[in-house]
A and B are shown apart, each in its own frame.
Chain A
Amino acid sequence: MSEKESEDVRIGVFVCSCGTNIGGLIDVKAIAEYAKTLPNVVFTEDNLYTCSETGLTQIKNGIKNHNLNRVIVASCTPRTHEPLFRDCVEEEGVNQYLFDFVNIRDQDTWCHQKYPKEAFDKAKDLIRMGVARAARLEALENIIVDATPTALVIGGGVSGMTAALSLANQGFETHLVERENELGGRLKTLYKLFPIDLDAQTLLDNLKKNIKGNKNLKVHTSAQVKNIEGFIGNYEVVVEENGINIDLTIGVIVVAVGASLLTPTGYFGYDGKIRITQHELESKLQNNEVKAKDIVMIQCVGSRNDERTYCSSVCCMTALKNALIIKENNPESNVTILFRDLYTPGTYYEDYYRRARETGVIFIEYSPEKIPIVKEHQIKVHNEYLGEEILIPYDLCVLSTPLVSNNDNKALAQMIKVPLEEYGFFLEAHVKLRPMDFATDGIFVCGSAKWPVDITESISQGYAAAARASRIISHDTIEVEGATSFLPDYNKNLCTGCEVCIKICPYNAISKNEDDEIEITQVLCKGCGLCGATCTNHAIIIRHYTDQQILSEIYAYGGKEV
């Protein structure tokens, strides 16, 4: 592998005593003396506290007086102090990537307190390794790209509307793309919303009114995203609206495509008439069409089974809410809920359950081994408490079916290069650490696109995704570390185009350009080094952790080159 001719390498090593934390166990003066004997080292010094103002001045003086072009500090840990020392050397004109850290406190003197000699030897080894690496360090620049302060929200349901409004209210030009001819998504078809029995229409009207009055927000209905190319801050998006293509330049994207309903054909004699879904019940309630006297609801229809192991999370509350509405409209009616487990977390939701019991809604648990059998006018269910089967008459049977992922999620996922989980919902970067982000920078997710969630949660997630997205477009530029993966021109002949790197990159930072050459989008690369360790022909270089840098450390410790 070709390497740039190394200039005259002049390394300075600063050994920190850290009060007595290091100096109390090992002789830092002797370490500094030892460092002087190492190749390319022209200056060494020991400091009481290298991170103090005095210590930093000593580094700066060292650079000035001895013309240092590499600086090593042997002290605590890079995880806390590397930024400080990087800034320090930059101030004196040495590129921050020409600084290297050797950890002789946290991973040495603190851990081998009864072995001063061995700790001393370990410090020497580590410094020798650091010096070897430092000689091969290269100056790097952080990468800065422009960011377009615009947002695209895909999906005009409650989550998407909330996210779009939030972004537009912050002053960002926002495009909201909805497939249907009006906004609203699932919200359009709901009647009352738990937990406060708000009219769904009221919420929808309110959102629409705010959207209409917002000059930053452009709504595209009967529209679909046809193509997305580019990367964070710089997406080129084609939206087809009423058959006409519109080109947009977009900084960030929020995926709020929601979920679909499951039509439970084949389940419990579903017929859409007297055996209907909760969703169908909503519109019947809205039009005051429910005249039935004996209503039986069956929970977990088509979910939490082998085919769909997940809990749809909204159905328990929907059933309780609808049961209460029926009871309110007609106190004489009999409402029975056949359930497996009831999911009513929090104070508001649990309150629904209490009220349902108070109004006389009957709850009967069934097990997945003994599922209810729906006959023409009766439902046979095994009552776990009685230990026997009972027959419940009904004139309306309501099936609580889960939300399922949209069929076209896959196409969108491929377009924006993000993953789906096993049931076809969008998969976030990390369930706890980055719940609204995708692994691909600049793209966010909220609402039921990710997992079935209720309206309250959809709204929260809409705000959350907008907040995450605005972090990026509130700046004119995006700056990322210079320590990225890199295919230098002089290695392009090594690349065989096998594409293993493209597939292995967790951030979709690698692609092929029009000339069929591998191209690494620097701003997307996080510098993990996976592609470099995998590259079949050693063409990719991981900056700041190059093969030569790491091998030099290995050889310095091993004592020879092999």
Chain B
Amino acid sequence: MTFEPKILGFLCNWCSYAGADLAGVSRIQYPPNMRVIRVMCSGRVDPVFIFKALLTGIDGVFVLGCHPGDCHYLEGNYEAEKKFMMVQKFLNMVDFDKRVRLDWVSASEGKRFAEVVTEFIESIREQGPSPLSGENMDQELFNNLKAMENSVSSDRIRALVGRQRKITEVENEYGERVPIDEFNNIFDKAIHDEFVRQRILLSLSSKVLSVKDLAAELKLDPSEILENMLTLKSRGEIDYQSIDGNTPLYMRI
């Protein structure tokens, strides 16, 4: 049996959902693999939603909004783009970023809607079923994506992505505009750190581990693990549980 991808689409009400309707009105045919969730604006798509969808084993997630400059809500699609780029940065760490896509379809582009959807479905078909679907789910990948979901749910990452346009395109609280490269450096580091921290928290939620154990489990340098664990400890999220010889063991609070 050939693989039929399971695709979820988030469509904004004003442009892409209308474009999808127009494809229907014009009887333009495309593969029946996508299910649609209508939102008022692509900016409503919380990054958490995308991770949740992938975690259920859905093979691909498509976010469609109005073309840049055409947003019914003025700037929602620009914010959607920033959030989406962040999602891709996370997914890129586990080579999963090609399972999500963001594109623009206007209310008059029925044909284009069918084209971009077909293309995305075919791209997912080529990538094959999600390792998170079916009986033998890839647990490590699941944990990684779960940690990413928790990261995009965390206040630090959300504050950074939420302020990105303002501080790189207008100005920050101190009246300066931060160059995009500089912002990206900060942002990339924050994304990486938060991911590691969430991954540590996930591991410690079911067992008690040392820095060395965690480094082995997460395949990361112990010094990096330690650094992030100190941050977690200062945040009051983890603490020592016991000492095994000279090695402290940590637990989640």
- Complex Cα spacing A498 to B159, Å: 8
B55 near A562: Cβ-Cβ < 8 Å: yes
User: What sequence of 0s and 1s flags, for each residue 62-81 of chain A, a beta carbon within 8 Å of any chain B beta carbon?
Assistant: 00000000000000011100
Name the distance in Å between A411's Cβ and chain B's nearest Cβ.
Answer: 16
Flag whether B13 is at the interface (Cβ < 8 A). yes
Name the distance in Å between B94's Cβ and chain A's nearest Cβ.
Answer: 16
Chain A, Cβ-Cβ closest to B75: A506
Known A107-B36, A532-B46: A113·B52 in contact at CB below 8 Å: no
Known A118-B32, A550-B37: A533·B43 in contact at CB below 8 Å: yes
B155-179, CB < 8 A from A? 155-156, 158-159, 161-163, 166
Known A78-B38, A528-B40: A503·B74 in contact at CB below 8 Å: no
Residues in A with CB closer than 8 Å to B28 are 111
- Complex Cα spacing A527 to B25, Å: 27
Flag whether B105 is at the interface (Cβ < 8 A). no
User: What sequence of 0s and 1s flags, for each residue 105-139 of chain A, a beta carbon within 8 Å of any chain B beta carbon?
Assistant: 11110111111001101100110010000000000
- Complex Cα spacing A520 to B104, Å: 29
B25 near A500: Cβ-Cβ < 8 Å: no
Interface-lining segment among B14-22, B186-194, B197-205: B14-22
Q: How many residues of A contact B (CB 8 A)?
A: 58
Name the distance in Å between A31's Cβ and chain B's nearest Cβ.
Answer: 15
Interface-lining segment among A43-51, A248-256, A296-304, A552-560: A552-560
Known A528-B76, A558-B53: A122·B35 in contact at CB below 8 Å: yes
- Complex Cα spacing A121 to B31, Å: 13
User: What sequence of 0s and 1s flags, for each residue 526-551 of chain A, a beta carbon within 8 Å of any chain B beta carbon?
Assistant: 11111011111110001001010011
A537 near B35: Cβ-Cβ < 8 Å: no
B162 near A536: Cβ-Cβ < 8 Å: yes
Residues in B with CB closer than 8 Å to A429 are 74
A111 near B30: Cβ-Cβ < 8 Å: yes
Name the distance in Å between A440's Cβ and chain B's nearest Cβ.
Answer: 11
Name the distance in Å between B179's Cβ and chain A's nearest Cβ.
Answer: 18
Chain A, Cβ-Cβ closest to B47: A533
B1-18, CB < 8 A from A? 6, 8, 13, 17-18
B58 near A557: Cβ-Cβ < 8 Å: yes
Residues in B with CB closer than 8 Å to A122 are 32, 35
Residues in A with CB closer than 8 Å to B75 are 506, 530
Flag whether A496 is at the interface (Cβ < 8 A). yes
A496 near B155: Cβ-Cβ < 8 Å: yes
A79 near B83: Cβ-Cβ < 8 Å: no
- Complex Cα spacing A555 to B54, Å: 10
Chain A, Cβ-Cβ closest to B56: A558
- Complex Cα spacing A111 to B45, Å: 25
Of B17, B40, B47, B161, most A-chain CB atoms within 10 Å: B40
Contact with A106, one of B25, B146, B156 (Cβ below 8 angstroms): B25
Flag whether A439 is at the interface (Cβ < 8 A). yes
Flag whether A58 is at the interface (Cβ < 8 A). no
Apart from A79-B13, A129-B35, A558-B56, list 6 A-B contacts with CB within 8 A.
A79-B18, A107-B21, A503-B166, A528-B43, A555-B56, A558-B53
